[in-house]
Structure 1
Amino acid sequence: MSSPASSSSANQALQQQLSEIILQGFEQYFSQHQIISHSASALFLRGQWQQIQLASKARLNVYEQQLASVVSHIYDKLNPVLQTNQFWIELKQGFYEVLNNHSQTELLESFYNSVIGRLFHHNKINDQLLFVLPSRCYLPGQLRDKVVHTQHFNQSLNQTFDLLLKEVEFGEKWCSKSVDIELLCARLRSQTVNQTSTISRIEILKPVFYRNHYACLIGRICTECDSQPFVIVMMLNEQGHVYLDALLSDTDSISVLFGFARSYFLMACDCPAEVVAFLHQVLPDKKHYELYSSIGFHKHSKTAFYRDFIRHLELSNDMFEQAPGIAGLVMAVFHLPSYDVVFKIIRDQFGDSKSVTREQVKHCYRTIKIHDRVGRMADTHEFNHFHLPRHRVSEQLLSYLQQVAAGSIRVTPNEIIISHLYIERRMTPLNLYLQRNLSDSQIDTVINDLGNCIKEIASADIFPGDMLHKNFGVSRHGRVIFYDYDEISLMPEKNFRELPQSSDPFAMDSLSIAPSDVFPQQFEHFIVGQQPYKSRLKYFHPELFQCEFWQQLQQKLKKGRAPSVLPYSDNCRFVSKNP
């Protein structure tokens, strides 16, 4: 029989092994994440846009692959359920030393949480076992010089940018760098530089941000009393040279560029916390979890979100309640009015008009997660065993959830535990937005943008399926965003057909109609309900209701010639430089 001392020593040795396995797994994940992110530069300079999208998808899978490998190695060492709770508490305590000596502390914490969560099927979410709260206070700035180029302003604006852009990795690939700098500085002088303030320095993030067929430099102009953010957007011309395409110099445009409806940037950097700290200076209204998502650390973004969420619960006292709008046939949706997200639970049973299964719904949400969302499809975070304080959930909401999603919730005296849910940015449902006291101009704008939204989603190779306007939201920037994914499919999976002409009202019943058949002429009957809205949509986007438009788009997608969806308006572009 072993003595307590020998048993303790054995536990410490085993805990040390587990710590090393977790650390090595994280290092392999982060290394692969960086390798894929680094590849974006060469892919961009070769004009390999589809490969950039494939790299983005591959990077999303790396985390799960390494997590599965670590969990498998741990099972080789022990059976987690046979260890005492104290064993896992001590494992976490010993891991503090690993974190203190690591340059990606916050990411490693999240990876550790993922490992323990997977071992216990996310049933042990508490700060004794997990890093629900951060292990230490992050104070970005010590490694700032590693990620930021700083040029003090002691010469002309043109000379300053010439020095800054020499550091960018495009080298001789610039088409006409001196001309681009002249255009850039002229635009900056007219739009961003306050003539009454003295510029003290200009800062640009060293990492280049890649997405699809464009690359971005993020920076700010610092004066004596404030700062002005800017984003320089570059593209490749037909000859394979880099040219300046646009300058974004207002926070709204930059915020949309980093929005929750866009795919993640490919950006390589050893100090993501410093990058996020700089981005937060540029976009102070963005939360840290949103910025971590935007640069490809979506798993840590979940940790950062949860920390922000529990902090908000401590500072608020309102009740969770059913979200406004028409109740969905697939999802039960609720929110906390003082917080800017909605919570979506898959219902136990779907409406009669829905033929999808629970697993198909999950597959659709996973598809959108890894797809190019082109600024028109909301990102989601998927959680298992999500805990809500019981006293903050209204009786009306609890009754509703027990009625439609009882299989996904468990009620205890102090908590409501949801076995599976999605969290998504809250928007105003389009049907409710149209009920406001809007001017004709405002109605035209949002209906026109609805049509643009549908077109841009389709150009990204996604057919939205259920296009009822209640399935679209309006963001705080006034953009129409799609958020209901249970009927999405890839464009090649659909057969767009002309609506047969017949005087027989029952002719459709006698036709052979496959599940993949789509009749665009019928769209006008269900996208927007009221006739004035229908007329506006048909006026702005008549081609949406024509079979030929959809068939031609399918052919363009097949040939890799889909229309480009830029994340900024034409007003931001340098028209004279567009190839």
Structure 2
Amino acid sequence: MFPQRLDSTLAYAIAKAMMDGFNRHYRLFRTESARAKHRFETRDWRGQQRAQRERIEFYDLRVKECVMRLMKEFGADEQPMEVWEQVKLHYIGLLVNHHQPELAETFFNSVTTKILQRAYFQNDFIFVRPAVSTEYIENEEPSARPTYRCYYPTAETMQAEALLMLQDFDLRVPFEDLGRDAELVLNAMKRHFDHVKLRANFQFQVLSGLFFRNKGAYVVGKIINGFQEVPFALPILHNTDGKLVVDAALFGEDDLLILFSFARAYFMVDMEIPSAYVQFLRSMMPRKPRAEFYNALGLAKQGKTLFYRDFLF
């Protein structure tokens, strides 16, 4: 039942502490993900594996920290239902203009269900459906990195745009032959558009963050031509001389579904707005459930009772 008024200052303090706990979690999560680029450049494979293992535990540690704080500072487990109803509503207010609201909602659920008795597990106390839409979230600050970059090649500038697409990731290790790799990528792309007229909207859309996993870095994007869209991924590896090469070119939904399979390890990606990455990936692989993309990005864990809101609680 919706409370008649929001008159509990304690409820706001609890909600704010929970949001602080989530923000700390995602800040640490994102920092570790961003370091994956340096580990890839320096070929620190043991460090990369260790970071992937340790990052999995971040969520549980931050939930535990938040629960302990709420119990110690606010006696959260002793507060009546009326206060907890207001806590949730204050928390919804804090989600406005937040860049990771769907993850913050799950953090709220995880903390709340560890504090409250099971009899309280109902819609009044946890999120069972989205409170804030993630469809149009954007960071409008001038310095913000876009979710994806667009390239608009013509028939004459194809190779130059493919070269720029690879250069824009600013990897601090030289390629063995970047011009050669750009040409090979372009030739692979052209096979999907042989005898096809290039439409006015012909473009490459490429996610701004590289996808790091094990010893590879993956460029992930799609080619758009009229109503046709072809997803692609380009794995970048170190050769025996320590220089970079584009090792292959994967095209089509089936190839990318294998790349993003549950059977493989999580990716490390520096993302400010995870839902925007998930939305982009779903446009490339519509057969894959949204929640599985959160898993592939290390934002949810198998085997847990509480997943993100796409799962059943």
Q: Does 1:261 align with 2:263?
A: yes
TM-score by length of 2: 0.89
Gaps of 5+ in 1: 1-7, 310-385, 387-579
Q: Shift in Å at residue 137 of structure 1?
A: 2.7
Q: Shift in Å at residue 60 of structure 1?
A: 0.8
Q: Give the Cα separation in 2 of the matches to 1:36 and 1:294.
A: 16
Residue deviations 1:421-463 (CA, integer Å, cap 9, x gap): xxxxxxxxxxxxxxxxxxxxxxxxxxxxxxxxxxxxxxxxxxx
Alpha-carbon spacing, 1:240–1:15, altered in 2? closer, same or farther (3 Å): same
Alpha-carbon spacing, 1:213–1:121, altered in 2? closer, same or farther (3 Å): farther
Match of 1:279 in 2: 281
Q: Shift in Å at residue 288 of structure 1?
A: 0.8
Q: Give the Cα separation in 1 of the matches to 2:173 and 2:80.
A: 61
Q: Is the contact made by 2:162 and 2:182 (CA closer than 8 Å) also made in structure 1?
A: yes
Aligned counterpart for 1:99 among listed residues 88, 95, 100 = 95
User: Which of the two has greater strand per residue?
Assistant: 1
Q: Considering Cα pairs closer than 8 Å and 6+ residues apart, tell me whether 1 or 2 has the greater RCO.
A: 2
Tell me the amino acid that sits aligned with residue 173 of structure 1.
P
Aligned counterpart for 2:21 among listed residues 11, 25, 28 = 25
Q: Shift in Å at residue 194 of structure 1?
A: 4.8
Match of 1:303 in 2: 308
Match of 1:205 in 2: 207
Q: Is the contact made by 2:41 and 2:173 (CA closer than 8 Å) also made in structure 1?
A: no
Tell me the amino acid that sits aligned with residue 202 of structure 1.
F
Match of 1:149 in 2: 149
Equivalence map 1:518-557=2 (5 Å): none
Q: Does 1:109 align with 2:111?
A: no
Q: Shift in Å at residue 101 of structure 1?
A: 2.8
Equivalence map 1:77-476=2 (5 Å): 77-120=73-116, 124-140=120-136, 142=138, 146-154=146-154, 155-190=156-191, 192-199=192-199, 200-298=202-300, 302-306=307-311, 309=312
Q: Give the Cα separation in 2 of the matches to 1:194 and 1:141.
A: 37
Alpha-carbon spacing, 1:251–1:86, altered in 2? closer, same or farther (3 Å): same
Q: Shift in Å at residue 55 of structure 1?
A: 0.4
Q: Give the Cα separation in 2 of the matches to 1:178 and 1:134.
A: 46
Q: Is the contact made by 2:41 and 2:172 (CA closer than 8 Å) also made in structure 1?
A: no
TM-score by length of 1: 0.49
Aligned length: 298
Tell me the amino acid that sits aligned with residue 94 of structure 2.
V
Tell me the amino acid that sits aligned with residue 309 of structure 2.
A
Q: Give the Cα separation in 2 of the matches to 1:118 and 1:112.
A: 10
Alpha-carbon spacing, 1:81–1:69, altered in 2? closer, same or farther (3 Å): closer
**Which is higher, the Rg of structure 1 or of structure 2?**
1
Match of 1:75 in 2: 71
Classify the secondary structure of the residue corresponding to 1:219: strand
Q: Give the Cα separation in 1 of the matches to 2:224 and 2:97.
A: 33
Classify the secondary structure of the residue corresponding to 2:271: coil
Classify the secondary structure of the residue corresponding to 2:32: helix
Q: Give the Cα separation in 2 of the matches to 1:299 and 1:136.
A: 23
Q: Give the Cα separation in 2 of the matches to 1:150 and 1:122.
A: 48
Q: Is the contact made by 2:99 and 2:138 (CA closer than 8 Å) also made in structure 1?
A: no
Q: Shift in Å at residue 232 of structure 1?
A: 0.4
Gaps of 5+ in 2: 1-5
Tell me the amino acid that sits aligned with residue 304 of structure 1.
R
Match of 2:30 in 1: 34
Q: Shift in Å at residue 114 of structure 1?
A: 0.9
Q: Is the contact made by 1:203 and 1:220 (CA closer than 8 Å) also made in structure 2?
A: yes
Residue deviations 1:443-497 (CA, integer Å, cap 9, x gap): xxxxxxxxxxxxxxxxxxxxxxxxxxxxxxxxxxxxxxxxxxxxxxxxxxxxxxx
Percent identical residues: 22
Q: Is the contact made by 2:234 and 2:250 (CA closer than 8 Å) also made in structure 1?
A: yes
